[in-house]
Structure 1
Amino acid sequence: MLRKLLIGFGFVEIVKPEPIIEACERIGLRNPEVAKRRPLALTGARLEGLAFVWLLVRNRQESTLVSTLLGLVGLTLVLVPQPIIELSQHLVYADTDRLELQPWVVPAARLLGVLYLTVSLLSRSASEEPAAAASEPDADRSSSRLRLRAR
């Protein structure tokens, strides 16, 4: 259920990132009307959505660079969010000196970190489930072969 919700969120972020960015600005900024987004802000949001969808839909056994990076960013956001907040402001906005952050931006960034960690962990658990399911029939076949040879 959570996986489907996050995949849906990722698709929305890919197709229509503006409402999500605007909601985040209203939540995180005291003065969202003065924020001047850089042209690549929408592309960054779309890439985030694409990473969510790709990680949660794929069916691979090994961990990926994207999953590992998302997990590391998530862990950093949970433990020390300030450097990531400042970096993301400089990447997204042209006028960071005019932005006034709400006091709950740091807790919100930590929640975003938990979201990133959740996506990373869900992507890893999805790749383990098919591997476990695939190995069971092989084990059944092997044991039946052994029984046939023993006769």
Structure 2
Amino acid sequence: MKVLDLLCAYGHSFEGWFGSEDDFQSQLARGLVQCPLCTSADIRKVLSAPRLNLRSASAERLPAAPDPVPQAVGSVPSAILPAELQAAWMQLSRKIVATTEDVGARFAQEARRMHHGEIEERGIRGQASAQEAAQLLDEGIAVLPLALTAAAKESLQ
């Protein structure tokens, strides 16, 4: 099993597990490797520290590996997020997915029905156009646009 440190074009770092280098290259070529934060398929490997199994806790500690995220990636340095912030966002995204119902394209209609008392209130998520979202806000219906990645909607293997 190969564990690779990967970086998307927007500077999000993440880890990928592959059967071999050929398996990684094959999946990359087919567009199957995507950033779990932004779903970008523009992925590259970065230097990673080797995994060391030390026999005792008293063994001399090795210096920490350098951060694999460069200071700037392309022209979007502001898109680089610290690993802790990325992890917190993924945790929050997964909690939102777990505690809400996906109503898909019916989002605006369901939100209106709840607002007018036609159906019981519950946590929902789905898709709405910018115009639909603006109309909901004009009607006094609170909505919050969130970019939930596919990784937040799936369990990790």
TM-score band by shorter chain is under 0.3
TM-score normalised per structure 1: 0.20
Higher helix share: 1
Relative contact order, higher structure (CA 8 A, sep 6+): 1
Higher strand share: 2
